[in-house]
Chains A and B, each alone.
Chain A
Amino acid sequence: MEDILSVFVRSIFVDNMLFAYYLGMCSFVAVSKNVKTALGLGIAVTFVLVCTLPINYILENYVLTEGALSWLGPQYENVNLSFLSLIIFIAVIASFVQLVEMIIEKFSPSLYASLGIFLPLIAVNCAILGGSLFMQQRAFPNVGVATVYGLGSGIGWLLAIVGMAAIREKLAYSHVPKPLKGLGITFIVTGLMGIAFMCFSGLKI
């Protein structure tokens, strides 16, 4: 139980996807112009992370790693398919995003219209694949922890993009040196937010 709580808090604040590893920067910079779309994208990313991490965890531990196929019979004990993990992970993510897109289009056309192009782009959001790769690297003990890690990383990313969007809305009224306008000042603000987030790094639960 403590383990789950600690993974959850760490993945939001200490190992924040955006500020500690810069994952999902591209959509972060492109979509953080107003709070509403930022919130929509953040929720969609969190949802896809929560759904794909357990699937990839099960695939990783029962199909891909060395000896993982031993449940099929003793002759499969030495099979090591880990070189396939990148392709399998991205296939799961891409098909899942396609699925989410179809479901949203069918049941909530208004949400579908407001998210627009950003829905398919979630498939190539580095934060999602990054979540699966970190899950693989850190070898979580069970599916529950992996799911909680997905939820935490998603919420951390959501916090970051909504905060950034709020700052950028105000930034529109300030005098920024001309060459820094737009992209440049966004980078500097992100850097400063990252430094602020670093004060969580000693956090222990």
Chain B
Amino acid sequence: MGLLSSKNKEILVGPLSVNNPVVIQMLGICSALAVTSKLEPAIVMGISVTAVMAFANVIISLMRNTIPNRIRIIVQLVVVAALVTIVSEVLKAYAYDVNKQLSVFVGLIITNCILMGRLEAFALGNGPWESFLDGVGNGLGYTLILIIVGFFRELLGSGTLLGFQVIPEKFYELGYVNNGLMILPPMALIVIAVIIWVHRGRNKELQEN
């Protein structure tokens, strides 16, 4: 059994599209929306979630045979909370501005349903290496959606990307106006709905009846 057999590859790549945590499994929507009005916090948030998820999956997977079933939720929460505390302190030290923008949402990674969902569904029943791949895969799937939403909201809402002006001045002189609605919270939901629409339009087997 190689480290990247076809089954493991499936675990890693599946969550990017057909098994995406946000648009298919409906996990982690809470924080996916709030941090995406700009591209930069979206990327930082995605990386943080991926890191926490990969390591939480490995730790829980290593402990899976020793955790009593009745108190597993509390054990999982404590492991995740410890990891999130580390991430939050690192962000405070090295990326203070982004940390300010993310405000409470770094702490809210703890209650991000992706984490609990994957820990319950995958890490409790699989070995550490598969769990690590599953964590990274789902984290990347989540990051992908965050980046798409952040890209469109920042481009259409402020005319910038990562803080740099993208839409040329000429356009503004001709009467182009930034769409202020894109910055407002409700538009994140509608952008995600459009992503779901396109995604399910292309993959007919995912449609609900």
* Residue ranges of A at the interface with B (Cβ–Cβ < 8 Å): 19-26, 29-30, 83-84, 86-87, 90-91, 94-95, 98, 120, 123-126, 128-130, 133-134, 137, 177-185, 187-188, 190-195, 198
Contact = CB atoms under 8 A, between A and B. Distances in A.
Interface centre among A25, A30, A126, A192 (most CB of B within 10 A): A126
B208 A183 contact: yes
A133 B104 contact: yes
Interface of B: 23, 26-31, 33-34, 73-74, 77-78, 81-82, 84-85, 88-89, 103-104, 107-108, 110-113, 116, 184-190, 192-193, 196-201, 207-209
Q: For chain A, what secondary structure do more than half of its interface residues adopt (helix, strand, loop), or is it mixed?
A: helix
B33 A25 contact: yes
B193 to A, nearest CB: 4
Contact of A22 (B23, B89, B185): B185
A111 to B, nearest CB: 21
B30 A194 contact: no
A120 B73 contact: yes
B74 A94 contact: yes
Closest 7 CB pairs of A and B: A194-B186, A182-B208, A191-B189, A179-B200, A187-B193, A133-B104, A191-B186
A179 B196 contact: yes
B185 A187 contact: no
A26 B29 contact: yes
A90 B104 contact: no
B29 A180 contact: no
Contacts of B77: 90-91, 94, 123-124
B102 to A, nearest CB: 11
Given A26-B27, A86-B84, A198-B184, A179 B207 contact: yes
